[in-house]
Structure 1
Amino acid sequence: AHLNPAVSLSLCFLGRFPWTRLPFFVFSQVFGAFLAAATVALQYYDAIMHYSGGLLTVSGPRATAGIFSTYPAEHLSVWGGVVDQVIGTAALMVCVLALGDSRNVPAPPGLEPVLVGAVVLVIGVSMGSNSGYAINP
């Protein structure tokens, strides 16, 4: 599954996806992400405005920017953030590619999406303290 641009790019490097289709997939993935964010913003607009008092901020006790993006922890340096994202994305890619490799023992039919979801959950829980669930460099 083409979860994000990192997956699509990796599949191109491995020769399992044509390079000519990569720009269209990346555009569609990014467009879909913005469309999903707009849908969430529309659906929860009243709740967000009520919570924030009408003042949308990035930090502070009523910060709302974290709903739509992730931010590094205060202790995290730029280099630490890069390392964090590379390791998290590499872990995601290794697991996704292993699940999709026909030379491995296959997962039961229909269980692949559940396993990928479990991988994302484990990565987020184990590595999310530095910058949240951002595993898309």
Structure 2
Amino acid sequence: GHVNPAVTAALCILGKISFTHSLLYFIAQTLGAAFGTGIMYLVYSEAINAFDGGVRAISGPNATGIIFASFPRAYLSNTGAFIDQMAGTSLIGLFVAFCCEPKNQIPRNLMPALFGTIATTISMCCGLNMGSPVNPASDFGARIFASLIGYGTQLFTFHNYFFLVPLVAPIVGAIIGVYLYQFFIGFHIPKPAATVVNVNKDKCEMDQENGLRQVKECSQL
């Protein structure tokens, strides 16, 4: 399983899951993120109230909205943010395509560790401009929950509807990453050589005769 719609989009492009299943995955991933945000809010609600005095804001000295969702730095435009997220998740899409390529023969039991490593690495390296919302579900689901506990529609209208950037850009980036892999790498990897098994026909016939003889001897006992 996976909890990132960007990964879901990559798998859909690769033909691993259908478009309908991709939509269902996205809904489930977003609801899961919203539910998880709710649990963490219950844990830290008193700390949040102590900091902002119960005034839910996304900007200013006592803003707490950044706890729930990503926001751009003051210098960053929506276009720059879109490029930022698209570049980061294109690496995820490329890596997913690499791991799912049968010709690469990546062991399935290693894939979770590989996915976790690349996602963590990208999050650490590409988080300066706007945090690291390379997962559309975690950002959008948290925004939905936060809008219900006092932050309101400002989570969606802020910075000229910035919320669309972490929602759309990672999916676009993942799709681009898949096609980059296929164009520059995947199409050029030769198929593994077929394994030829030599069968000794005489030995096979002898084994069959011995087996029949043993069955007859047992039936006569």
Q: So what's the TM-score if we normalise by structure 1?
A: 0.87
Q: Give the residue type in structure 2 aligned to 1:122.
A: T
Offset of residue 21 of structure 1:
1.5
How much does 1:106 deviate? 2.3
- Residue 44 of structure 1 aligns with an amino acid whose one-letter code is Y
Name the SS of the counterpart of 1:56 in structure 2: coil
Deviation at 1:107, TM superposition (A): 5.3
The answer on whether the counterparts of 2:51 and 2:62 sit within 8 Å (CA) in structure 1 is yes
| Residue number in structure 2 paired with 1:112 | 111
Distance 2:131 2:88 in 1: 11
- Structure 2 equivalent of residue 5 of structure 1: 5
Judged with a 3 Å threshold, the aligned counterparts in structure 2 of structure 1 residues 21 and 108 are, in CA distance, closer, same or farther, namely: closer
CA-to-partner distance for each residue in 1:68-120, whole Å, 9 max, x for gaps? 100011111121111111111111121233233332252583x4323322212
Name the counterpart of 1:16: 16
> Any gaps of 5 or more consecutive residues in structure 2?
137-167, 169-221
Question: CA offsets per residue over residues 9-61 of structure 1, 9 Å max, x none?
Answer: 22112211122322211110111111111111112111111122222211222
Alignment of 1:122-133 (within 5 A): 122-133=121-132
Cα distance, 1:80–1:42 mapped onto 2, change above 3 Å? same
Separation of aligned partners in 2, 1:131 and 1:78? 10
Which residue of the partner structure matches residue 64 of structure 2? 64
Which has the larger share of helix?
2
CA distance in 2, matches of 1:94, 1:48: 39
Secondary structure of 2:83's aligned partner: helix
Number of residue pairs the alignment of both structures matches: 136
1:62 deviates by 2.2
Give the secondary structure class of the aligned counterpart of 2:125.
helix
* Structure 1 residues 41-60: aligned runs within 5 Å: 41-60=41-60
Largest Rg, 1 or 2: 2
Distance 1:131 1:52, change over 3 A: same
CA distance in 2: counterparts of 1:23 and 1:118, whole angstroms:
26
**More contact order relative to length (CA 8 Å, sep ≥ 6):** 2
- Looking at structure 1, the residues matched to 106 and 21 of structure 2 have their Cα atoms a distance apart, in angstroms, of 27
Structure 1 segments, 4+ long, off by >4 Å, are none
Any gaps of 5 or more consecutive residues in structure 1?
A: none
Task: State the Cα RMSD in Å.
Answer: 1.9
**Alignment partners' CA distance in 1, 2:99 and 2:50:** 43
**Percentage of pairs with the same residue:** 32
